[in-house]
Structure 1
């Protein structure tokens, strides 16, 4: 790999690289397409998967195919009017209804935290090293994810050496790269030490128990208590959270996703009187539209407003 290729590779987010490779493989292997592709071939590919794949997925596949052609020095067939018209037609015939993650309410967070604390204590009494590690890790992951409004991929990329603790005050989490950091200057997030459901205490309990000094903060653990050297995969966050909630006796555990922590915090903050600007600064949203996608109105059906006007 040349120096130029090295820095090009370094400038591409790992998640983006993986998703683009998957898109190219789907076009060539699953569908049987040929690269370089023609506009007609791209259009037929879109038409064959219309209604089967979400429009957002098809758009991502187009971006990957466009990038491949540009990098290989070929004309980009995805920009041809035929392809744009086909994609517009798919949007018209197969409108997508946005699915939002179910927000984790504070009482459900408390319920899961109680179960994890109890399970970790019982595992320690039974000399179950693996169970003690997993439950302690999961408690730290859950509380940091909620109070910081982190996405699943951010939790998976959190590095121990980039976390600083100020006892009794809070913790600082630095990410060299984040989704909205286009200048690649790194982003710092702060989480407070709290009287209860404290993310700082839970994190210290975890790293001290696991003897972690650097590398990924949250890793997979086998039944014997052996930890992996790499971080949890972002795709593992949803099944992990659902397993925790189900074990804690939370109803409809399968309705939650990795975004449930962020949506839960956003709704808690909004109902607790945080203004939108403060919430945006804390979570790291750049636009009001991004913030509002995570906040449910206190009167979503307008019943209270209409009832009050009826007298």
Structure 2
């Protein structure tokens, strides 16, 4: 690969490149379309998959086709009125409710944290190094992911050499790249030191027991207690969390995903009086719309429902 190609490849996230390549392949190979494509062909492609693919998936396919045409110097057929009209019609006839991850509540975080503490202590008593390492790693993953509201890929890309412990304050983490950092400037975020469920303490314990001095923070551990040199892949986060939550006794662990930590923190911050602007700056959201997708609105009837449950007649406003 030439130096030029290396820089061009670095300009696009690896996950995005793979996703877009798969979308173009689906259009050309599996559906049988021709590239460069006409607007009519793209419109037929959308219509053929309207009942099979989610609207967000169709939009992603359009973005991939648009990028291919721009990079090859061809007119972009996805901007044609017929394509936009077909997409609008699909949204009208096949409305889909957006699926959201179940937020991890603070009491659930405490339950899982307590289970991990007990499991770490037990594994040390039994001299089970592999179990000790996995539990220490999972505790760091859980608490850092929750209290920073990290995206899954941000959490998995943390590097030891980019983390600095700040006595009495917490630690700072430099993220060379993240989804919201379109200019690729990188950003430094701070992780707080807390009296309980402390992410800094969990990180320090994991680094110490694993003996890590550089490279990925979160790594695989084999059955013999050997730590892998490469970092965990973002796709492994959901299985790790669900397995951890099931072991800790949380109900319906299959409902949780990598976004559960982010949504859980956003809900906790909202309930504790954080304003939206502060939350956006802390988590790294670019706009209010993104933030509001993670915040559940308070139930205005919660107080009256509680009174009714205590034996007080439920009265609606105006009664």
TM-score of the alignment, normalized to the shorter chain, above 0.5: yes
Query: Is the aligned partner of 1:309 residue 2:317?
Result: yes
**Secondary structure at the counterpart of residue 188 of structure 1:** strand
- TM-score, with structure 2 as normaliser: 0.91
Determine the C-alpha separation between the residues in 2 that align with 1:302 and 1:40: 52
- The 1:154/1:300 distance shift into structure 2, 3 A limit, reads farther
- The reply on whether 1:58 has 2:66 as its aligned counterpart is no
Query: 1:289 & 1:282 partners in 2: Cα distance?
Result: 16
Distance across 2 between alignment mates of 1:183 and 1:85? 32
Q: Which residue of 1 aligns with 2:308?
A: none
CA deviation map 1:213-240 (0-9, x unaligned): 1111111222222222222211221121
Provide the alpha-carbon RMSD of the alignment: 1.9
Report Cα offsets for 1:78-122 as digits up to 9, x if no partner.
222222221111111111211221111111001111111212222
Structure 2: how far apart are the matches of 1:48 and 1:126?
Answer: 58
TM superposition shift of 1:77: 2.0
| Aligned residue pairs, count | 311
CA distance in 2: counterparts of 1:46 and 1:215, whole angstroms: 43
Structure 2 distance, partners of 1:282, 1:41, is 44
1:131-210 to structure 2, matched below 5 A, reads 131-210=131-210
SS of the equivalent of 1:282 reads: helix
Shift of 1:34: 2.9
Mean alpha-carbon deviation: is it higher for 259-268 or for 288-297? 288-297
Q: Following the alignment from structure 2 to structure 1, what is the Cα–Cα distance between the partners of residues 277 and 152?
A: 23
Decide whether aligned partners of structure 1 residues 101 and 2 sit closer, same or farther in structure 2, where only a CA change above 3 A counts.
same
**CA-to-aligned-CA distance 1:190-224 (integer Å, 9 cap, x gap):** 11111110000000111111111111111122222
Residue 213 of structure 1 corresponds to which residue in structure 2? 213
Give ranges in structure 1 of 5+ residues lacking alignment: none
SS at match of 2:251: coil
Q: Distance in 2 between matches of 1:26 and 1:171?
A: 44
**Range moving further from structure 2, 136-145 or 294-303:** 294-303
| Aligned-residue offset at 1:14 | 1.7
Residue in structure 2 matched with residue 85 of structure 1 by the alignment = 85
SS in 2 for 1:83: helix
What SS class does the counterpart of residue 172 from structure 1 fall into?
strand
1:23 paired with 2:23, answer yes
| 1:171 alignment partner, SS class | strand
Structure 2 distance, partners of 1:56, 1:301, is: 33
Name the SS of the counterpart of 1:273 in structure 2. Answer: coil
Following the alignment from structure 2 to structure 1, what is the Cα–Cα distance between the partners of residues 275 and 211? 39
Secondary structure, counterpart of 1:45 in structure 2: helix
Report 1:27-42 matches (<5 A).
27-42=27-42
Deviation, structure 1 residue 302: 7.1
CA distance in 1, matches of 2:163, 2:301: 42
Question: How much has 1:300 moved relative to structure 2?
Answer: 5.9
**Aligned-partner Cα distance in 1 for 2:263–2:102:** 7
d(CA) in 1 for partners of 2:245 and 2:59? 33
Change (3 A) 1:37 1:303: farther
SS of the residue corresponding to residue 277 of structure 1 reads helix
Tell me what 2:47 maps to.
47
TM-superposed CA distance for 1:170, in Å, is 0.2
